[in-house]
């Protein structure tokens, strides 16, 4: 069974987190959410339960675990996901251990997904120039370092990027296809009943 680690922080965009998590679960992917604390937060007690994250619109989401780098490796997961939301993306993308794991996942030929402002992690992680997209609000910070695209979803090797809440479904379904195949994507998309002519 494929597995995914989906990061979340205070300020994460709720739709990008929940749609990705939910869609992957529908495909049979084992998903784990990990809370990334802000740099100025007090160190967490490893024995304490993970906190809820307060999303960009105030939704409280209870996470599965604290982000712990040594158990977040590509030996444990097939996919590493960084959602957007300006504040949440800043917290996640600026975390040195997240940056390290982005590079390691790609080196180990595992998938990394970034959506919306989460694509800033490609820059902070020092990834080489390649096709990429993001939310328009951070385009100016990325377009000189990457081959910037305005397609809803961009796949560059094992790196998958997308634009925002409105592209969360095609982003998640693309991840399903890459992990589980085209037939599984169609199987998952069908019962969702997307209007005719949409991306599914």
Q: Which of 90, 116, 177, 180 is catalytic?
A: 116
Residue 45 structure tokens = 């007690």
Which residue in 16, 66, 177, 180 is the catalytic one? 16
Please give the Cα distance from 126 to 43 (Å, whole number). 26
Residue 42 token pair: 């007090």
The catalytic position among 13, 31, 66, 135 is 135
Helices then strands, counting H and E runs in the chain, come out as 7, 11
C-alpha 119/C-alpha 191 separation (Å) is 29
Query: Where is 98: in which H helix or E strand?
Result: helix 96-107
- Does the active-site annotation cover 116? yes
Report DSSP state, residue 142: H
Is 44 an annotated catalytic residue? no
Q: Is 135 a catalytic residue?
A: yes
Q: Which residue has the tokens 């802000």?
A: 38
Name the E strands within the chain. 3-8, 30-35, 52-54, 60-62, 65-66, 79-82, 111-115, 131-132, 147-148, 153-156, 159-162
Q: Residue 33's closest CA among 42, 43, 45, 24? A: 24
Q: Which residues are catalytic?
A: 16, 116, 135
């Amino acid at each position: 069974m494929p597995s995914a680690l989906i990061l979340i922080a205070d300020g994460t965009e709720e739709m990008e987190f929940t749609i990705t998590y939910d869609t992957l679960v529908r495909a049979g992917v084992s998903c784990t959410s990990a809370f990334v604390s802000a740099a100025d937060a007090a160190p967490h007690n490893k024995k304490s339960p993970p906190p809820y994250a307060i999303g960009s619109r105030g939704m409280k989401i209870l996470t599965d675990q604290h982000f712990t780098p040594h158990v977040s490796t590509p030996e444990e997961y097939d996919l590493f996901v960084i959602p957007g939301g300006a504040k949440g993306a800043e917290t996640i993308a600026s975390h040195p251990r997240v940056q390290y794991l982005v590079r390691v996942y790609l080196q180990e030929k595992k998938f990394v997904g970034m959506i919306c402002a989460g694509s800033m992690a490609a820059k902070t992680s020092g990834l080489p120039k390649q096709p990429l997209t993001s939310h328009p609000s951070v385009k100016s910070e990325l377009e000189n370092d990457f081959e910037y695209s305005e397609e809803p979803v961009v796949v560059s090797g094992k790196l998958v990027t997308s634009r925002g809440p409105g592209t969360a479904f095609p982003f998640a379904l693309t991840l399903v296809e890459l992990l589980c195949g085209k037939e599984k994507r169609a199987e998952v998309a069908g019962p969702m009943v997307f209007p005719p002519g949409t991306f599914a």
